[in-house]
Amino acid sequence: MRLMMILFACGAFVACNVKEQTLKTVADYKAEATAAVASVEVQNSLELVDDDSVVFVDVREASELASNGKIAGAVHVPRGVLEFYIDPASSLYMDIFNSDKQIIFYCASGGRSILAAKTARDMGVSNVASLEGGFAAWAEAGGATQLPAAPD
């Protein structure tokens, strides 16, 4: 019994003296992604919308597209399942992620798209970038938009 009390006391002492673990924040992830992935300014991206060597990938939720539309010609890939669209072994695979095309990710304001671009880069897609300011900046700059014809 005495041995159990000693072990309990030692365990409690060790637990109390362990530094509090800090969680990695969204800001931490975004800072890492921003350091690793290129960004495209809205004015520069407006010139790329008709370029066949560029694909805009919208990572917002379907409800956001239904409400606000998307960049004309953009491909919709929700961020929550992005990895499945990139992985050639997945039934959701899209060959744009294994092409020579420049892939510009965007979301509403830029946070999710920089994370998506970093994920794509980590999975081996080298030609990725994120649209600075996202769809909001695009629309404000007068970029062409369209409502999706049907849910993706």
56 within a domain of the structure (yes/no): yes
User: Is the Cα torsion angle 55, 147, 33, 137 positive or negative in sign?
Assistant: positive
Q: What is the domain range of residue 139?
A: 22-146
Reported as a single tens digit per residue, the pLDDT across 31-89 is: 999 999 999 999 999 999 889 999 999 999 999 999 999 999 999 999 999 999 999 99
CA-based Rg of the chain, rounded to a whole angstrom?
A: 22
* Residue whose C-alpha is closest to residue 139's, from 45, 62, 67, 71: 71
The tally of domains found in the chain comes to 1
What CATH number should be reported for the domain holding residue 125?
3.40.250.10
14 within a domain of the structure (yes/no): no
Reported as a single tens digit per residue, the pLDDT across 101-119 is: 999 999 999 999 999 999 9
- Round to whole Å and give the CA distance between 28 and 34: 10
Query: What tokens appear for 73 in the block?
Result: 């010609």
